[in-house]
């Protein structure tokens, strides 16, 4: 399916009350903040159809597990982070993987692939956020710096271990990342990516990439840092650690969580990464999936699973773009 030149209205809603769920923590909001976004994002469904987006002028399903999104500006010098995610407020029953690259058809495009856990191309719903300003980095296959925003240093610490340093303290921010080709190629060998606070300084973000067998291995990745907007960082027990715009957070059960924000986010996009909430390591690789809130339109539902597809508690960091 290909479409272009259409304006898509975002769904409007009203702010409703907080979560009524197990292990709910009410979070006092420091100040109101708009959802962070460069203005370019997209949400798709299980058949690879466009559902909603920001700044989108065209969308094409190129084949099984292969898609291209076209935006209203040149995004070739930007970063692309995506998450397998239900486009409504359902569940992602069959875990999948998502990878990004520059557009195959134009400099305004982002190419996306979704794969099953066996690394075969398969259709999965995904949510993609493009970041051109602010703090971000894109690396190559050898862990080398390719491009970025606000970056003052990039170090490959060893196979699958990296640290990006920015020009400000980011220890109170959130870090989302995706394995991604730095140009407009393909990610032939699927991998996983995890984030944490800097090991060298509070201005840093530590990143690990691993193969599907959980071994450290070099993969290209793209990292987006958000210090405001609508964000959440949780810990290994499913507790709220920090965030922006959050009014409540609940652990609903093993590997099941809901974050509630101070505004309606039902028409937004949600990307997340399994991530240590401090500056440690994620020893046991996991997967994370998102959806609209199960309790209210102000919520985002998150599931974390082990590599076998079973629900399990993992720390994650969530970023919402509207």
Nearest partner of 321 among 116, 96, 1, 85, judged by Cα: 85
**pLDDT tens by residue, 48-86:** 999 999 999 999 999 999 999 999 999 999 999 999 999
Mean pLDDT for the chain overall = 91
Dihedral angle at the C-alpha atoms of 19, 98, 150, 270, nearest 10 degrees? -20
Nearest partner of 321 among 81, 19, 30, judged by Cα: 81
In this prediction, residues 96-123 reach a mean pLDDT of 97
Q: Kindly list the distances between the CA atom of residue 206 and the CA atoms of 278, 285, 304, in Å, as whole numbers in the listed order.
A: 10, 15, 21
Interstrand relation of 24-26 and 246-253 (parallel, antiparallel or unpaired): antiparallel
Residue 118 pLDDT = 92
Query: What does residue 121 show for φ and ψ, rounded to 5 degrees?
Result: -60, 135
pLDDT class of 164 with cuts at 50, 70, 90: very high
Give the position of tokens 């590997």: 255
Residue 291 pLDDT = 99
Q: Is the pLDDT higher at 210 or at 23? A: 210
Q: State the DSSP string of 78-137.
A: SEEEEEEB-SSSS---S-EEEEEEE-SS-TTEEEEEEEETTS-B----EEEEEE-SSEEE
Phi-psi region of 63 (alpha: psi -120 to 50; beta: other; left: phi over 0): left
Q: What is the model's pTM? A: 0.89
Task: Give the pair of three-digit tokens for residue 88.
Answer: 């409504």
Q: State how far the Cα of 166 lies from the Cα of 193, in Å rounded to an integer.
A: 19
Residue 36 pLDDT = 46
Residue 24 pLDDT = 58
Residue 60 pLDDT = 98
Q: State how far the Cα of 260 lies from the Cα of 301, in Å rounded to an integer.
A: 9
Nearest partner of 27 among 277, 269, 262, judged by Cα: 262
Q: Using the predicted structure, report yes or no on whether residue 134 has a pLDDT greater than 70.
A: yes
Count of alpha carbons within 13 Å of 251, Cβ hemisphere only? 20
Q: Are 218 and 160 in contact (CB under 8 A)?
A: yes
Q: Is the pLDDT higher at 282 or at 173? A: 173
Q: Which residues contact 6 (CB under 8 A, 6 or more apart)?
A: none
Task: Give the pair of three-digit tokens for residue 84.
Answer: 């397998």
Q: Which residues contact 72 (CB under 8 A, 6 or more apart)?
A: 40, 55, 56, 57, 108
In this prediction, residues 96-108 reach a mean pLDDT of 98
Exposed, middle or buried, 150 (CB in 10 Å: 0-12/13-18/19+)? middle
Q: State how far the Cα of 204 lies from the Cα of 163, in Å rounded to an integer.
A: 6
Q: State how far the Cα of 293 lies from the Cα of 24, in Å rounded to an integer.
A: 14
In this prediction, residues 97-108 reach a mean pLDDT of 98
pLDDT class of 2 with cuts at 50, 70, 90: very low
User: Cα–chain-centroid distance for residue 257?
Assistant: 16
Of the chain, the percentage scoring pLDDT greater than 90 comes to 86
In this prediction, residues 9-22 reach a mean pLDDT of 33
Mean pLDDT lowest among 193-197, 254-258, 279-283, 313-317: 279-283
In this prediction, residues 78-100 reach a mean pLDDT of 97
Residue 207 pLDDT = 99
Nearest partner of 77 among 109, 31, 41, judged by Cα: 109
Residue 26 pLDDT = 57
Task: Give the pair of three-digit tokens for residue 76.
Answer: 């070739």
Exposed, middle or buried, 306 (CB in 10 Å: 0-12/13-18/19+)? middle
């Amino acid at each position: 399916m290909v479409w272009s030149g259409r304006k898509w209205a975002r769904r409007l809603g009203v702010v409703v009350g907080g979560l009524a769920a197990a292990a709910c923590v009410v979070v006092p909001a420091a100040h109101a903040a708009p959802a962070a976004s460069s203005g370019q994002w997209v949400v798709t469904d299980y058949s690879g159809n466009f559902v909603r987006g920001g700044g989108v002028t065209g969308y094409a399903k190129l084949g099984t597990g292969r898609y291209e999104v076209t935006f209203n500006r040149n995004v070739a010098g930007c970063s692309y982070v995506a998450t397998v995610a239900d486009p409504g407020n359902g569940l992602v029953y069959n875990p999948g993987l998502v990878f990004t690259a520059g557009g195959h058809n134009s400099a305004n495009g982002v190419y996306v692939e979704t794969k099953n856990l066996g690394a075969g191309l398969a259709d999965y719903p995904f949510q993609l956020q493009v970041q051109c300003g602010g703090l971000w980095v894109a690396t190559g296959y050898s862990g080398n710096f390719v491009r970025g925003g606000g970056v003052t240093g990039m170090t490959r610490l060893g196979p699958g271990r990296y640290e990006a340093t920015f020009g400000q303290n980011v220890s109170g921010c959130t870090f989302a990342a995706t394995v991604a080709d730095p140009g407009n190629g393909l990610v032939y060998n699927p991998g996983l990516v995890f984030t944490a606070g800097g090991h060298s300084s509070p201005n840093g973000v530590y990143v690990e990439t691993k193969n599907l067998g959980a071994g450290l291995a070099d993969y290209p990745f793209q990292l987006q840092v958000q210090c405001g907007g609508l964000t959440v960082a949780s810990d290994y027990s499913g507790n709220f650690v920090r965030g922006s715009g959050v009014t409540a957070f609940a652990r609903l059960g093993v590997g099941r969580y809901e974050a509630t924000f101070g505004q309606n986010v039902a028409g937004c996009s949600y990307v997340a990464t399994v991530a240590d909430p401090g500056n440690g390591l994620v020893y046991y690789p996991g997967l994370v999936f998102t959806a609209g809130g199960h309790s209210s339109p102000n919520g985002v539902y998150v599931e974390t699973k082990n590599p076998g597809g079973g629900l399990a508690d993992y720390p994650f960091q969530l970023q919402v773009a509207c």
